[in-house]
Amino acid sequence: MQFNHVANRLDAQHFETIVALFIERLGFVELRRTERVIWMRQPGANIDLQFCQSTEAGRDEDKRRSQVSFLSLTPQQALEDLAAWLTQRGLEATVRAYSDREFYLDVPEALVDFVIEAMRPELADYPVKV
């Protein structure tokens, strides 16, 4: 089997706002869409991101351990910029830290089962043997 995509859930009421965030602010392109699901890819990446609309009332208390993760030389500032964009659109968004090199953005009303993470590139410098 070959890895293809990862799927996460977004609150249906805020689905289009989060999709717009990924397209407008993170450069993702839409690959395919159905009534309740969208597949996107960031140019240069080879894994797709799928978002599914959810009406789940409860949120995972431990969702910060499940992330859509990005690399950045300035991870905290990058997430603060996204949080400001979301706040301008009426969503509460907070940035917190795992460490001094790893940060996460939570949007409790919109992100059902994950947070958006940004970390310094050296944290993803894994020696991979193929």
Structural domain spans, the chain: 5-53+60-124
pLDDT for the residue numbered 69:
96
Q: How far is CA 97 from CA 21, 61, 75, 92, 113, in A?
A: 21, 17, 10, 17, 18
Q: Centre a 10 Å sphere on the Cβ of residue 21 and count the other Cβ atoms it contains.
A: 22
Pick the residue with more confidence: 58 or 117?
117
Distance (Å, rounded) from C-alpha 55 to C-alpha 46? 29
What's the rounded Cα separation, in Å, for the pair 36 and 112?
Answer: 15
- Domain with residues 5-53+60-124, CATH architecture: Roll (3.10)
pLDDT of 3 strictly over 90: no
Q: How far is CA 90 from CA 15, 31, 85, 129, in A?
A: 13, 27, 9, 45
Q: Rounded mean pLDDT of the chain?
A: 94
pLDDT in tens, 48-96: 999 999 998 777 778 888 999 999 999 999 999 999 999 999 999 999 9
